[in-house]
Structure 1
Amino acid sequence: MQTIKQLWQRYQSVISYLIFGGLTTVVNIVVFWLFNSVIAWPVWLANAVAWFLSVLFAYITNKLWVFDSKTPTAGAVIREATSFFGFRLLSFFIDEAIMIIGTSVFHGNSLVVKIIDQVVVVVLNWFFSKLFIFKDRT
């Protein structure tokens, strides 16, 4: 039990990120599937809606439970959220490129391409969050 506790303390940020990153990925994939397969929106538009809703979910969960970010003022929250969405916007362009190339050029199944795409995006977003957004500001 002590070993598990030590591992949790040492890797809490990474483990939490994997859990909430996984949930964010589920939100992204389900919303994408709903808008692309059920409502029949184009890949790029369904992907954009999925991106926005999953990034909103990710910001809240990352702030509260992954990086335990303390922002004492409204200005600090705005700067942090702007940074978060800004870096996620960078990964959004990579996300869109993978989706468009994967479905249009390689004619891959949109849901399969989306799942592969999310692996790349989750890794990029962890580095952006850890290194630039929720870094220790003390």
Structure 2
Amino acid sequence: MKKYIYSLYIKYKEIINYLIVGVLTTIISLAVYYLCTITFLNPKNAFQLQLANVISWIVSVTFAYFTNRKYVFESKNPHIFKEASAFFLARVGTLLMDMGIMFLCVTLMGMNDKIAKLISQVVVIISNYIFSKLFVFKKGQNEK
């Protein structure tokens, strides 16, 4: 049984590790967002809602880059600045997606901001994996 589970892990290692890192990144993103909106930013104010979103994004994307590089995609790319730039640029796309979902759900539709943020995170996690796999951590092309 252990050998079977291990072989499944090896076969799906990247996806399993991405899900683990994604969950941790989501927890960090949500914790920072909630901390901002509970302590010093008002989510009923459209500008402050987006500011809380951006702060949580910066913290979580920084965490995500280093953990994805090491544990998920096992990048050996010596051009860390170039790779990190591509990672952050891809994440800007999902940040805009996140902001759009939050604006639509909270500002236009009046949905609870905490629930809207959870919905948004599901869309963002899936999109981030696709962008990372296809554009940032491409096997063979980034390594010397």
What is the TM-score of this pair, normalised by structure 2? 0.91
Letter in 1 for 2:37: N
1:106 aligns with 2:109: yes
5+ residue gaps, structure 2: 43-47
Letter in 2 for 1:117: S
User: 2:140 is paired with a residue of what secondary structure?
Assistant: coil
Which residue is 1:80 aligned to? 83
Alignment of 1:1-138 (within 5 A): 1-41=2-42, 42-72=48-78, 76-138=79-141
Q: CA deviation at 1:92?
A: 0.5
Higher mean Cα deviation, 55-64 or 40-49?
40-49
User: 1:135 is paired with a residue of what secondary structure?
Assistant: coil
Letter in 1 for 2:91: R
Q: CA deviation at 1:37?
A: 2.3
Q: Which runs of 4+ in 1 moved over 4 A?
A: none
Q: CA deviation at 1:36?
A: 1.4
Q: CA deviation at 1:48?
A: 0.4
5+ residue gaps, structure 1: none
| Number of equivalent positions | 135
Q: CA deviation at 1:101?
A: 1.1
Residue identity over aligned pairs, in percent, reads 39
Aligned-CA RMSD value: 0.9
Tell me, in whole angstroms, the C-alpha distance in 2 between the residues paired with 1:137 and 1:108. Answer: 44
Deviations 1:83-122 (A, max 9, x none): 0000000110000000111111111111110011000000
